[in-house]
C-alpha cells in the first residue's frame, strides 16, 4: 500500500471508531466508512479536514454531509435487512453515494448541478464503484422509470415531503429525509400499501432541496 493510501486508511479507521462511540453500531457501515477515502470527495485545500466529523464546502454553495449523518442515515435504512435498489437525491460530492454503493445492490442518484454531477462521476469511477446510475435532474421528481425503490435517501432539505418520491417507494419501502427550513427534522417514512407512517430520527441541518430549474 502506498503511504498516501495507508494514511487514508488509518484516518478512516479513526473516523469509524469515533462514529462507533457516537452510536453508529452497524459493523458493515463502520467498515465501509473506514475503507472509503473521504479526501477524494473534497477539494485539495480542505484535505487536512477530510476525516473530521464535519460537513465541508464542495463549491456551488453546497456541502458534503457530516460523516456521522451519512452513517446514521445509511444505518437507519439498512436496519430492516439488505436493500436492492436505492434512490439518492442530491449526489453532491458523491461521498454518500460511495458509502451506499458498497452496501446495496444498485444506487440511483439525482443531482441538479451539472458540474457537481460530472465531478462525482469521475471520483466514483476512480475508486472503482460501478453499481451507480446518475442523472442530472430535479430531485423533486425522483427517477420514475427506475423505481419503485426499496429505499430513498434525500440529502437536501425540502420544506415539505415531495409526493412524487413517496409514490416511487415499494410497498414496505422506506425514505429517510430531512424536512424543514430554519429548523429541520430527519424523518423515516415507511410505506405500507397506500399508508405512510413517519418516525422522527433527530434534528439536522442540511442545505435546501431547491426547486425545479437545473444549473
Ligand atoms: N449526498 C451529498 C450531499 C450534498 S449536499 C454528499 O454526500 O456530498 C446536497 C446536494 O443536493 C447538493 O449537491 C445540491 O446541489 C443538491 N440538490 C439541491 N436541490 C436539488 C434538487 N431539487 N434536485 C437534485 N439535487 C438537488
Taking only the tens place, the pLDDT of each residue in 33-57 is 999 999 999 999 999 999 999 999 9
CA of 199 to the centre of ligand 1 (A): 23
Cα separation, 94 vs 124, whole angstroms:
7
Q: Taking 70 as the threshold, does the pLDDT of residue 180 lie above it?
A: yes
- Choose one of 33, 112, 157 to mutate for the ligand 1 pocket test, by most ligand atoms within 8 angstroms of C-beta: 112
How far apart are the CA of 194 and the centre of ligand 1, in A? 28
188, β-bridge pairs: 176, 199
**Residue 1: is its pLDDT beyond 60?**
no
Question: Does position 5 have pLDDT exceeding 70, yes or no?
Answer: no
**Ligand 1 centre distance from Cα of residue 154 (Å):** 8
For residue 6, is pLDDT > 70? Answer: no
The distance in angstroms from the start CA to the end CA of the chain is: 39
145 is catalytic: no
Q: What is the mean pLDDT of residues 116-139?
A: 97
**pLDDT over threshold 90, residue 13:** yes
Task: Check if 179 has its Cβ closer than 6 Å to any atom of ligand 1.
Answer: no
- Element housing 189 (H / E): strand 184-192
Question: So what's the pLDDT on residue 214?
Answer: 73
Candidate list 2, 9, 20, 65, residue with the active-site label: 65
Question: Which atom of ligand 1 lies at the shortest distance from residue 110's CA?
Answer: 24
Kindly tell me if the per-residue pLDDT of 215 is higher than 90.
no
Spatial separation of the C-alpha atoms in residues 154 and 168, rounded to whole Å: 13
162: Cβ below 6 Å to ligand 1?
no
The predicted structure's pLDDT at residue 2: 56
In the structure, what pLDDT confidence band is assigned to residue 3 with cuts at 50, 70 and 90? low
**What integer pLDDT is reported at residue 203 of this predicted model?**
97
Alpha-carbon distance 187 to 201, whole Å?
6
SS3 176: strand
Q: Domain 64-204 falls in which CATH fold? A: Rossmann fold (3.40.50)
3 state DSSP class of 182:
coil
Longest dimension (CA), the chain: 53
Q: In this structure, what C-alpha cell is assigned to residue 74?
A: 445509511
Q: What's 82-148 look like in SS3?
A: CCCEEEEECCCCCHHHHHHHCCCCEEEEEECCHHHHHHHHHHHHHCCCCCEEEEECCHHHCCHHHCC
Q: pLDDT band at 64, cuts 50/70/90?
A: very high
Q: Is 103 in the pocket of ligand 1 (CB under 6 A)?
A: no
Question: What is the arithmetic mean of pLDDT over 126-142?
Answer: 97
**Coil, helix or strand at residue 155:** coil
Residue 12 has pLDDT above 60, yes or no: yes
16-39: pLDDT as tens digits: 999 999 999 999 999 999 999 999
184-192: average pLDDT: 98
**For residue 109, how far is its CA from the centre of ligand 1 (angstroms)?**
10
Amino acid at each position: 500500500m502506498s503511504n498516501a493510501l495507508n494514511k487514508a486508511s488509518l484516518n478512516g479507521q479513526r473516523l469509524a471508531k469515533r462514529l462507533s462511540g457516537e452510536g453508529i453500531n452497524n459493523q458493515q457501515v463502520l467498515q465501509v466508512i473506514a475503507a472509503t477515502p473521504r479526501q477524494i470527495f473534497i477539494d485539495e485545500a480542505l484535505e487536512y479536514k477530510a476525516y473530521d466529523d464535519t460537513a465541508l464546502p464542495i463549491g456551488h454553495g453546497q456541502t458534503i454531509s457530516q460523516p456521522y449523518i451519512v452513517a446514521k442515515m445509511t444505518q437507519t435504512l439498512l436496519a430492516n435487512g439488505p436493500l436492492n435498489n436505492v434512490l439518492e437525491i442530491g449526489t453532491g460530492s458523491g461521498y454518500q453515494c460511495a458509502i451506499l454503493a458498497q452496501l446495496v445492490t444498485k444506487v440511483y442518484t439525482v443531482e441538479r448541478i451539472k458540474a457537481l454531477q460530472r465531478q462525482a462521476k469521475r471520483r466514483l469511477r476512480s475508486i472503482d464503484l460501478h453499481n451507480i446510475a446518475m442523472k442530472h435532474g430535479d430531485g423533486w421528481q425522483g427517477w420514475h422509470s427506475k423505481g419503485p425503490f426499496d429505499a430513498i435517501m434525500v440529502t437536501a432539505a425540502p420544506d415539505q415531503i415531495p409526493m412524487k418520491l413517496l409514490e416511487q417507494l415499494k410497498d414496505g419501502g422506506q425514505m429517510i429525509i430531512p424536512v424543514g427550513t430554519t429548523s429541520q427534522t430527519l424523518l423515516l417514512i415507511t410505506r405500507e400499501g397506500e399508508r405512510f407512517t413517519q418516525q422522527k430520527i433527530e434534528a439536522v441541518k442540511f442545505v435546501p432541496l431547491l426547486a425545479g430549474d437545473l444549473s
